[in-house]
Structure 1
Amino acid sequence: MFGGLAKSLFGSSNDRYVKSLNPIIARIASFEPTLEALSDADLAAQTVKFREQLANGAKLDDLLPEAFATVREAARRVLGMRHFDVQMIGGIVLHRGEIAEMRTGEGKTLVATLATYLNALPGKGVHVVTVNDYLASRDAGWMSQVYSFLGMTTGVIIPNLTDEQRSAAYNSDITYGTNNEFGFDYLRDNMKYERSGMTQRAFNFAIVDEVDSILIDEARTPLIISGPTDDKSDLYKQVDVVVKQFTAEDYEKDEKQKSIILTEDGTERAERMLEAAGLLEGENLYDFENTQVVHHLNQALRANMMFKRDTDYIVKDGKVVIIDEFTGRMMDGRRWSEGLHQAVEAKEGVNIEPENQTMASITFQNYFRMYPKIGGMTGTAATEAAEFYDIYKINVVSIPTNVPVQRIDEEDTFYKSTEDKFRGIAKTIREHAAAGQPVLVGTVSIEKSELLSEFLTAEGVDHKVLNARYHESEAHIVAQAGRKGAVTIATNMAGRGTDIQLGGNLEFRMTDEYGDLDPGTPDYEGVADRVREEIVAEKAAVLAAGGLFVLGTERHESRRIDNQLRGRSGRQGDPGLSRFYLCLDDELLRIFGPDTLFARMMRSNMEDGEALPPSKWMSKAIETAQKKVEARNYDIRKQVVEYDDVMNDQRKVIYEQRSDIMDAETVGDMMSDMRAETVNTIVGESCPPNSYPEQWDVAGMKLKLADLLNLHLPVDDWLAEEAIDPEIVLERVQAAADEAMVEKAAQVAPETWIQIEKSILLQHLDHHWKEHLSTLDALRQVVHLRAYAQKTPINEYKQEAFSLFQRMLDNIREDVARTISHADFQYQAPPELPPLPDFITTHFDPFTGEDNSADIDAGTRGYVTTTLPPLQMVRPEAQDLGEDPAEWEGRVNRNAPCPCGSGRKYKHCHGAVSA
């Protein structure tokens, strides 16, 4: 009570913090008259002046007011957009390495230019991270006009760029790209064999757009680069046949944890069926020899019993395509790991592609924590403020809106069953659409969106459906969702990246309805003026009808997703309405809802088709269920971080070692040390200190010297000497090993020898690191079983991982010594550095098997140049894409020049989408 009173009197801590920035805002405004009077050339020269001031010892904070004012003036001249004061506040928050929570439609893309420009002045580079490559290309092309005007270069990282293009983009002052591209480039760089092949430079400052999606939702899953292994298609098919014969009594599943286990009866039945299929060694399913069969059985169980078609994945063109649970997008090229994807392919009867082996891995938490400073933007972060601080040490600051929000957020409406709920939703939508109010309907799966579509069709409501099946026309559907009486069903609207403008979007209407007209021609401009007038009139009618009505068909697991959906309505002071419809069959309530909720609902004796009146108690119960899910997901993310922190320490050692090897002029000292350690180990094991010669393992020592160092020494003769001891043996073996290596090095030119040593070191380092990652993956899968022995799994994992790492280093040392000692380079040209293979990039959850990769491979093959200003699109040649324009869809960037050579953008030419 007293806290609420104090808050009403003095404001919240967030309000006080925002208010404390007002003097800086006033200081920025004081520069505006002076900068307005400058010519374009003088305004652009501000960048040179700022860099000189930095060279003379000035700090970025000292330059902030004038630099922000400069960006504001440049944006006004180039884009016709002037930053509001609240956007200036957002820019200051970003510069300070904090998260700016700004409502949808408040202009976050423009806000980023302020902190980006200021932090790019030292020339160390700034990374602007987005959730998909469409936004990366769009924002880079849009905002690069401002940076170019001020004399800065802009790059963009999208799929299918060459290493040269990536390197040029990273060496630009400002680099846009997706979280996955940045992370995968870091892993790829640390698999290269030459420093010149690495594309990224040292990390400096990152601004993360949709920071909650990237650092929270997708942070449950590490990024993984993998390569193919042996084909086991027949085994997957055979096990799938067995699993499909199971009944519900044979297994127990936990939908919260997305896990499934066989019952005792189920295990016995599985053993009988596997034995009959010739897949079982012995009689016991859990014998060591059956480890692989058990793994396949578990994955087949999950594929058949836990993963649903059209919810978790779809089958398209004979392939299983994952659906991103956060965005509802298809993720072409993405595959679940640990054999789960192959199990789903066997379930659906499509071609089974080989499994993959992990070659490099990192979590987003550990990747982004490598940046000295990181800022973020999103419309919804306050509910996760504690996690942002715990994991990343970043504060969340809520930025006030430029115009007060007028949207009305109504309490939830509750029905007894899904059928009753959807029937009620369809009637509500029909009434609002008939009154001219546009309706945006949010669903949680393709299945639900298509079910609702059937109800709307029955009600005679004209509507459009946006989900993974209609991915190609996404931007067009979203852009027109604000037209009078429009009804749009969308599977998870989070992060769609296209604003919903009331009355319609001019650019998309011209493309859809008048795609045959060329932009810039008199005919085009004449039609555009008429359409613009229609949009103004239509917007007035929509505003009169109450603005955009956002209708959620059920609550999501996270409150943030619900808030993102609501945030689509009421932008920039427009009126709006939002309401969620729920029922007892909803997954959130069925799995996570409090038992008392079900009991009270069932006792209420609701009639079929009847809706409960809105209730604050009901909304509170829903929020409680969501908090349960959020807490569970936070625990999963914390667990991912805890386990990856162990690997991260080892990763740093390996990657630093690789860098040292690549940067060193010579690695002779390193090779000498490894050789000396090998000799020490051999002699120490065979001739223990304070032992007599007759106790030595001479035969074993001779075998090891021949195997590891290619040395054949008269050790037996040394035993006849009276004064012989382990120290003398050690010195003689060491001298012989060094002499042999000097002779071997003399066979080739010194420069060639250095390259040979580097190549051998790097290849063995990479080989053993890859094997080590595979071992750690297996360890993480089973270490939780040690909890039964009253041991803490994470502590056990740390101890085991450390021992495995020590063993790996020993194996590397021995293999390097063996390889270089036995190799004969006299008659062979020095080996070329092996090229990197075609890797498979995945972003899977080790606990649930879900893949949260952004849509990076389903994107474009229209290449974006990485040396700006200004941002340009390079036209892919038609002969590389096929002569049939129908085959170009999804392979050419929509803003790239059309491959046909017309000179028009692809989206205005062969990529035009019909209305």
Structure 2
Amino acid sequence: MLGIGTLAKKVFGTPNDRKVKSTRSLVAQINALEEGYKALSDEGLVEKTHEFQERVRNGESLDAILPEAFANCREGARRALGLRAFDTQLMGGIFLHQGNISEMKTGEGKTLVATFPAYLNALTGRGVHIVTVNDYLAKRDAEWMGKVYRQLGMTCGVVYPFQQEAEKRVSYASDVTYATNNELGFDYLRDNMKGSVEEMLQRGHYFAIVDEVDSILIDEARTPLIISGPSQDRSELYKVLNSYIPQLTEEHFKLDEKTRNATFTEEGNEFLEQKLQADGVLPEGQTLYDPESTTIVHHASQALRAHRLFMKDQHYMIRDGEVVLIDEFTGRMMKGRRLSDGLHQAIEAKEGVDIQPENVTLASVTFQNYFRLYEKLAGMTGTASTEADEFAEIYKLGVVEVPTNRPIARVDEHDRVYRTAAEKYAAVIEAIKEAHTKGQPMLVGTTSIEKSEMLSELLKKDGIPHNVLNARQHEAEAQIVADAGKPGTVTIATNMAGRGTDIQLGGNVEMKVLDALRADPEADPDALREKIEADHESDKRKVLEAGGLFVLGTERHESRRIDNQLRGRSGRQGDPGRSLFFLSLEDDLMRIFGSERLDKVLSGLGMKDGEAIIHPWVNKSLERAQAKVEGRNFDIRKQLLKFDDVMNDQRKAIFSQRREIMDSDEVGEIATDMRHQVIEDLIFDYMPPKSYADQWDVDGLTAAVRERLNMDLPIGEWAEEEGVDQEVMQERIIEETDRYMTEKTEAFGVENMRKIEKQVLLQMIDQKWRDHLLTLEHLRSVVGFRGYAQRDPLAEYKTEGFQLFESLLDSLRGDVTQQLAQIRPLTDTEREEMLRQMEDQQKARQEHLTMESGAGTQSGDGADRPEPLLAGFDENDPSTWGDPSRNDPCPCGSGNKFKHCHGAI
């Protein structure tokens, strides 16, 4: 008998079915327009784009233009790439435009799908960002799909690391911009550290389409993006602590693999204390439990984690004498990414490579909060439904499963579970041999570089030719993936998310043609293609007869999605295929998440060596274990986001204030308001409300006015006058300081004074924000202990974070006012002295450069002499100051050292 829910689904269809059905009329409209657009000339397609742009400017909605725009884009793609989009691809594009995640299986052409909503939304002129998981895909997709946009009269750019700023600016100004999530996030942070609007690169956050959305918005969302600067060098401490860890025994520490944490026991602390005191690192009489020892304890814990939880060739690898992290989800190297809080330095000490200094945070943002800046967000992936709740809760994104163009013919077999890893790998080798012998291509999935290389060694012993795809083969990955569908090919891969190249049965024709042309540039491309296509058809027939691509998983990943990504590589576009996972009770997932009961069951069954258990119940129990891990990871990300949301509100306030100052030509009003507020606060502190005149701290107020406002005012005399109260005193001080600042403005010139005010404001905001970030980090690390006192750490963090932000704003007002009050034009004598000092510095630098380059001769025309840059010196224009030393007086005339004034950034 059918349940009520099942019966309702049979009658009404699932919510997903209804969403898919709702797009069919739009797809029919696009198809009806196809012949009309085919008849247009190339210029006609571009004219259509201009027509659509005009209609959008005149207020017509994008939804109204959608059928025509999609029809134009489909024709543009057909002409530029020779690809005609399927109806299911149009559906995927419609869902993306509506702000959903389109779940489309591997091989359904997601790269082309993105062009439809990107083209439609770019008609607004506000720019669309298409986000990819790596730089290779960003460049490849921008070049490949850029042909479509150019065919339609639109511009397309790509953003990548270490790109020239001018080139990057052009890319961001394009109608459609391809970039990685990392580069977009870092550019956002860098933009908000710039000194003027003209220097900023991003022009807003209108619409983003995220490819491999689950990988970017979920897997990578646990780690915030951080821009940092170097702090003090502690390399000796790392080395000393590192030398102790190998001496520890099991009673000295506890490991928690589930939470990836390591802590010292009481015995461990005693051992460390003795060692540290013997080596003179810990002062006599000081224990590890004293507040002064916090830093040492922190770094000792990081050294323990580095040794016990971070494994070489699994979590990181050594490349050119550097510790390079490996992305646990994609198996790729993450060049330039470093672990924070001294953990990266602890790993460097462990591996005996150069220890880079620790960094302090200058700016940071999580991917969640960066992508929530966009007015509209959409995503594509082959596997999102398992995380639908998280997408809905965090990003307000719906997940829609788009039907495949052809029905899936892949056979997904039940997992095989062995008792030991050795038995499992023996069975894996047998399965690979069998498939290889009958000419069936195989994709073998592993969870780490170490395991892929171990499997590779086993295959070498048995003489089975194969390719290995992991972080070490990063450069050759497209070629390896393209060849993975050839008859009898065995490919071992750490992870298949975002590889960007389809595994086509018989091999990838386009790649074969490119390879052949590279080998013989003189060959006739058409004849070459014809021959390769004929060979390909024969290879494809062999693979089809052998059963299509066989995906073999050697272990289950923590996340079902990663397993599904691997599985989804087989059976593209209705091809036959097979998938099967081999597991053992010694696998990490099974070991950490409850394999004891299963072990007892298997022992009770009296299983022989090499025998596997195959049962749907095992699959169910594994799915439950994976769901547990996914749930825990979701909680970690949610918690990270809740804490970051506190900072995010403050970040938005600071960044918008910076933007307002940069946009404004007239910041004098902001500076004046700040000054008036400082005066009001001084009156409140030294002449409290409802106090009598004899209770006022007149001397304190006089000294504070001298320090903060750089003025000697007769406050004592005013206080003795009849009828003078707090309000009158405040008005008089405001009047005097306003007059003083007006005189200063006249001395500098209005335009110069505005420039100085803007510069001081921006520098002070940046300096205060940097200090505030560090304070928040420290607060975050200690607030967790409040839970022991039955207080909610998050609530405590919010309250104290807000108080810290208020004090940031107070001190910002005070410091800006003080700095502006102390700035004065240089006297003639001071200017001459400044010019002399700067000329001396420049000569010294020139001599130093000449000595360094080893130039023994100088040209007779004096080409090596310092250029007379200082002839046009202007104290109000930093570009004329040359290069002052950090300890020189600041050329602006403030009286402060350069490092405390204009050199503070």
What TM-score do you get using the length of structure 1 for normalisation?
A: 0.89
Is residue 2:90 matched to residue 1:88? yes
Structure 1 228/834 Cα, relative in aligned 2: closer, same or farther at 3 Å? farther
Q: 8 Å contact 1:194–1:662 — kept in the other structure?
A: yes
1:523–1:151: structure 2 CA closer, same or farther, 3 Å change rule? closer
Letter in 2 for 1:522: A
1:539 aligns with 540
Question: 1:47-86 counterparts in 2 under 5 A?
Answer: 47-86=49-88
Structure 2 residue 371 is matched with structure 1 residue 368: yes
Give the match for residue 549 of structure 2.
548
CA offsets 1:256-306 (integer angstroms, 9 cap, x no match): 111111111111211111111212243320212112111211111111111
Is residue 651 of structure 2 the alignment partner of residue 648 of structure 1? no
1:584 aligns to what? 585
1:596 has 2:600 as partner: no
- 1:584-733 map, 5 Å: 584-593=585-594, 595-612=596-613, 614-733=614-733
- 1:830 alignment counterpart: 876
2:509 to 483, 489, 506: 506
Decide whether the 8 Å contact of 1:747 with 1:826 is kept in 2.
no
TM-score, length of structure 2 as denominator length: 0.90
Separation (CA, whole Å) in 2 of partners of 1:749 and 1:173? 42
TM-fit CA distance, 1:6: 2.6
In 2: Cα distance, 1:145 partner to 1:447 partner: 40
Q: Give the conservation status (yes or no) of the 8 Å contact 1:517–1:524.
A: no
- One-letter code aligned to 1:213: S
Corresponding position of 1:317: 320
Distance 2:269 2:471 in 1: 38
Question: Secondary structure of the residue that 1:683 maps to in structure 2?
Answer: helix
Task: Provide Cα deviations, 1:389-408, integer angstroms capped at 9, x if missing partner.
Answer: 11111111101000111111
For residues 696-722 of structure 1, the C-alpha deviation after alignment (integer angstroms, 9 at most, x for no partner) is: 223322332222221222333344434
For the Cα contact (< 8 Å) 1:549–1:578, is it kept in 2?
yes
Residue 478 of structure 2 is matched in structure 1 by: 475
SS in 2 for 1:244: helix
Unmatched segments (≥5 aa) in structure 1: 838-915
Q: Contact 1:328/1:467 (CA < 8 Å) preserved in 2?
A: yes
Once the two structures are TM-superposed, the CA of residue 833 in structure 1 deviates from its matched residue by: 7.8
Q: Is the 8 A contact 2:130 2:176 kept in 1?
A: yes
Q: CA RMSD for the aligned pairs?
A: 1.8
Q: Which residue of 1 aligns with 2:759?
A: 759
In the alignment, which residue of structure 2 is the partner of 1:182? 184
Q: State the partner residue of 2:218.
A: 216
Match among 408, 425, 429 for residue 426 of structure 1: 429
Correspondence for 1:913: none
Match of residue 854 from structure 2: none
> Residue 242 of structure 1 contacts residue 274 of structure 1 at CA under 8 Å; is this kept in 2?
no
Deviation larger for 686-695 or 223-232: 686-695
Tell me which residue corresponds to 2:780.
780
8 Å contact from structure 2 (residues 517, 523) kept in 1:
no
Q: Distance in 2 between matches of 1:523 and 1:66?
A: 39
**Residue in structure 2 matching 1:101, options 100, 103, 111:** 103
CA deviation vs aligned residue, 1:37-94 (integer Å, no higher than 9, x gap): 2222223211122123223332111111111111112212221111111111111111
Task: Give the distance between the partners of 1:113 and 1:731, measured in 2 at CA.
Answer: 62
**Paired positions, count:** 833
- Alignment partners' CA distance in 2, 1:354 and 1:268: 28
Cross-structure match for 1:275: 277
Q: Which residue of 2 aligns with 1:242?
A: 244
Match of 2:438 among 435, 439, 448: 435
Counterparts in 2 of 1:3-152, with a 5 A limit?
A: 3-152=5-154
Question: What amino acid does structure 1 have at the position aligned with 2:503?
Answer: I
Who is 1:530 aligned against? 531
In the alignment, is the contact (CA less than 8 A) between 2:482 and 2:507 conserved in 1?
yes
Matched AA of 1:626: Q
**Would you say the 8 A contact 2:212–2:497 is kept in 1?**
no
Take 2:461 and 2:733, find their aligned partners in 1: how far apart are those partners? Answer: 89
The more displaced of 41-50 and 577-586 is 41-50
* Structure 2 equivalent of residue 192 of structure 1: 194
Quote the Cα distance in structure 2 between the aligned partners of 1:157 and 1:252. Answer: 45
Quote the Cα distance in structure 1 between the aligned partners of 2:766 and 2:414. Answer: 57
Offset of residue 811 of structure 1: 1.1
Please name the residue that 1:877 is paired with: none
Q: Distance in 1 between matches of 2:185 and 2:880?
A: 23
Which residue number corresponds to residue 898 of structure 2?
A: none
Partner Cα distance (1:674, 1:744) in 2 = 17
The structure 1 residue matched to 2:311, chosen from 304, 308, 312, is: 308
CA deviations 1:589-622 (Å, max 9, x no partner) are 111236432332343343332222x210100111
- 1:390 aligned onto 2:393: yes
Deviates more, 1:650-659 or 1:736-745: 736-745
Secondary structure in 2 matching 1:377? strand
1:375-401 deviations in Å (ceiling 9; x for gaps) = 111100111111111111111110100
List runs of 5+ in structure 2 lacking aligned partners: 832-874, 884-905
Mapping of 1:329-348 within 5 angstroms?
329-348=332-351
Separation in structure 1 between the aligned mates of residue 370 and residue 305 of structure 2, nearest angstrom: 30
1:834–1:60 Cα change, 3 Å: farther
Shift of 1:654: 0.3
Provide the C-alpha distance between the structure 2 equivalents of 1:232 and 1:241, rounded to a whole number of angstroms: 15
Partner Cα distance (1:17, 1:478) in 2 = 34
Q: Quick one: which amino acid aligns to residue 807 of structure 2?
A: R
Pairing partner for 1:157 from 156, 159, 165: 159
Alpha-carbon distance change, 719 to 23 in structure 1, aligned in 2, over 3 angstroms:
closer
Residue 406 of structure 1 corresponds to which residue in structure 2?
Answer: 409
Between the aligned partners of 1:742 and 1:113, the Cα distance in structure 2 is 57
1:104 CA drift (Å)? 0.2
Q: Tell whether the 8 Å contact from 2:699 to 2:716 is kept in structure 1 after alignment.
A: no
1:843 match = none
Q: Report the Cα offset of residue 421 of structure 1.
A: 0.8
Offset at residue 163 of structure 1 (A): 2.4
2: CA distance between counterparts of 1:795 and 1:263?
30
CA deviation profile, 1:554-601 (whole Å, cap 9, x unmatched): 000111100000011110111111000100111111112364323323
The residue identity in structure 2 corresponding to 1:221 is T
Larger radius of gyration: 2
Q: C-alpha distance in 1, partners of 2:204/2:355?
A: 41
Q: Partners of 1:85 and 1:797 in 2: how far apart? A: 51
Greater CA drift, 480-489 or 365-374: 365-374
| Contact 1:385–1:396 under 8 Å retained in 2 | yes
Provide Cα deviations, 1:201-229, integer angstroms capped at 9, x if missing partner.
12211111111111111111211111111
- Provide the rounded CA distance (Å) in 1 between the counterparts of 2:611 and 2:880: 69
- Greater share of helix: 2
Distance 2:365 2:880 in 1: 24
> What letter matches 1:382 in structure 2?
S
Distance of 1:204 and 1:331 partners within structure 2: 28
Q: Distance in 1 between matches of 2:445 and 2:879?
A: 52
Relative distance call for 1:332 and 1:56 in structure 2 (3 A) is closer
Contact 1:517–1:523 (Cα < 8 Å) also in 2: no
Q: Which amino acid aligns with 1:419?
A: A
CA contact (8 A) 1:130 1:209 kept: yes
- What is the rounded CA distance, in whole Å, between the counterparts of 2:125 and 2:464 in structure 1? 56
In the alignment, the residues of structure 2 paired with residue 431 and residue 424 of structure 1 have an alpha-carbon distance, to the nearest angstrom, of 11
Alpha-carbon distance in 2 for matches of 1:410, 1:743: 85
Offset at 1:747? 2.3
For residues 55 and 809 of structure 1, the distance between their equivalents in structure 2, rounded to whole angstroms, comes to 41
Per-residue CA distance 1:117-154 (angstroms, 9 max, x = gap): 11111211111111111111111111111111111111
Question: Which amino acid is 2:243 matched to?
Answer: V
Check if 1:354 corresponds to 2:400: no
Q: Structure 1 residues 608 and 505 mapped into 2: Cα distance closer, same or farther (>3 Å)?
A: same
Higher relative contact order, chain-length normalized (CA < 8 Å, sep 6+): 1
1:449 aligned residue: 452
